Structure 1
Amino acid sequence: MKALFTSKNNKALSATIQVSGSKSESNRLLILQSQFPNLKTENLSESDDTMVLQKALLSKQGEVDIHHAGTAMRFLTAYFATQPDASVVLTGSERMQQRPIKILVDALKNLGAEIKYLKTNGYPPIAISGKKITKNSVSIAGNVSSQYISALLLIAPSLPNGLTITITGKLTSAPYLRMTVALLQKIGVSCILSENTIYVKPVAEIENKAVLIESDWSSASYFYSMVALSEAASITLKGYFKNSLQGDSILATIYETLGVTTRFNEKDASITLTKNNAPIADHVLLNLADAPDIAQTIAVTCFGLGLGCKLTGLHTLKIKETDRLLALQTELRKLGAKITVTDDSLEMATSEAKNSNKNILIQTYNDHRMAMAFAPLALKVPIEIDDAGVVSKSFPTFWEDIQKTGINVDFE
């Protein structure tokens, strides 16, 4: 299915939209809920990834296919390894079988877990025979993916002796790790983060607890981009808190410099984004090591505004649903951008967005964020998005919601 942007109205973009719960928070809480059934959640993510994880948690025998869901792969590896009644083959899509899992598997094996590779050493699919884990300390590298550490943290309170995790090397995506720690603390688990060490005490059971999941800030990024690229706009997004656990909430600060003002409405837990038309610098320099999931959105926004940019701290994008840096380079060059990428950065020269190549078909590479990051460019130049349905991975109502703002989208 292709998305074709046929036109936009000449009025200011305007809408009130309910964004579903954070995928990151939802997936962490689902793993915890499987260990502590009296934990309840509200505003659970509607994303494919969360649905896949929910389904996987219902099975502890046979093959478990998580398709493209990277978070599910990491979290379930640790979860099944510590369930004595589990005997599963954990697998995924072709791309998932190219995404490394060795650092986490090594850490789990050091704790006594029984995990075997079925094809390529260090990559899924993996066979897991769950067992009781009594060791209570492990060391793990922090410079590849914080999800490996979060996976260990999420099973730590149910281990009979708790867990002490020592992180070696520089930690990447630190806000996601802090999110995991905060959620553990919220449900009553003693979890202490001290420099490069995390201490988690064992918990037999927790008190009855209901957690309201904040709406997803990564999903909000596409509306920030739309407002930045518009001539005038006021869009309200529901379900957001000023004191967020999500690292991507840095969007409010970043986009203030790109012409978007964020007003927090604490009474109804919403944010209102408005175009402020303040002067914008012609070059953007950002280190996104703590918020890599918004890099695609920001790069496309900069291109649409004709700004140069240098985005660093992006090494994790090489092992996502696709090599996101290479994908950005390929698709932005189609539109006329002068862009270069390295293993951990992206640099783009200033340009005239109004002179961009038109009616370009943007490939999405099975990556939901490619589709959604490029969609706001329809405000500047006619484009088409291939495989538009890929957005269901994290934001199933995306196309419906952007049409509410006044952008017309057809499908073929």
Structure 2
Amino acid sequence: MEEKVQMSEVLEALKKASKDIEANPGKGGGGGGSDFASPSMKVLLELSTGSDDLLSGDPRLSTLSDLLSSFKSLVFSLKSGSCQKGKGGILGSILRRRPSKSDEISRVAGSIGAEIQSWIYRVNADRLVSALLSAEKRDVEEQALLLRAMELRVSQGFDRGLQEVLLRYGVFAAVESALADALAPKLVRERAAAAVLALVRFNKAVFVGPVLMGPTVDALVSMSSTSAAALRALNGLIAAIRSPLVDELQARRAIPRLVALLGSGEGGAVSMEVRVLALDCVLEIGYFGRKEANDAMLAQGLIKRLAALQRSDLGGTLLEIDASGGCGVPVGWLWYGRAGADERRFLETRPFASCVARWAVQVEVGEGLRQREKREIKRQVVERVKEAAASEAESATLLAEVLWGSTIW
């Protein structure tokens, strides 16, 4: 494994050298002004000199080998030409007289950099898969670092070359295996959860199918009561995959387990961070879920749980934020950015505020239900609010928010 780390460091140095030369071919890659033997130029020339032995055993490196040979020929033809000019003999002056040669060096250096980047992708993918699937004693820190590095790289945006490497090396399967392994360290499983989400965002067309068909959903749900990272990943996947993932949660009977994470609002084994994320989760399900998913949440006592959270210390109502004696703002304003900084700060410090109405609005403006089904859900919410309220005053407040908030948008 140490050899793979050293290889990665060498390849990164080679990529940097090629980029330096591509950006500034007239100075030999920078660092030396008009000096022909600048550090970046030396690095690639040394690689080209030893490329026969280093690259010959891997057919995937044949293009890089050819490019290095071309680069070496270009550089020494220019050096030879500069010597024939006599006085000065400076590569920079030759390149200024022959811009086409400068362009050619830049082009070849850029192509070398691209090939080295592909090499880096392969080395890193091999390191990650080997670390996750190795039968030897696991290095938790290394696994976590490699998963984080992969997550950060795919989060930078789509890259066809990177995708080819991810598929060829079976990176998703290895990451999913680590996530689904109940005996794996919690840190590794949490990093794997974040990596799965990053892969889905990288290319949904490729990675959504494996998520829906594999053990990812069950693993995230099983971790959710003790892992905020797992819930964050699940929320991100719901937002990315939308109704198909909610359908999968419903088919696997996971929705009642997620609603149960809201608890009663009176303490318990579930951390407050998990409860806040569980609220985000049921809000997402309310928006994207079909009738069966929303019915499952209501059957689990969702409104009663939300009402309990709303009356907790981290609850309250958006009607409270107007200190001048006005009537506050309706929940529906949050949807179209009409709520100001005061409202958003209020929700940051009191995340369960107006959560009953927030869920009702999510369902009403959401994508999962027909209009007839939305009217039926609202009717059920009104009935359950009356049952869940601790007093007539609370019932009136909750109903006002539900009815006002869901019609203002």
TM-score (norm 1): 0.26
- From the CA coordinates, give the structure whose radius of gyration is larger: 2
Indicate the structure with greater strand content: 1
TM-score (norm 2): 0.26
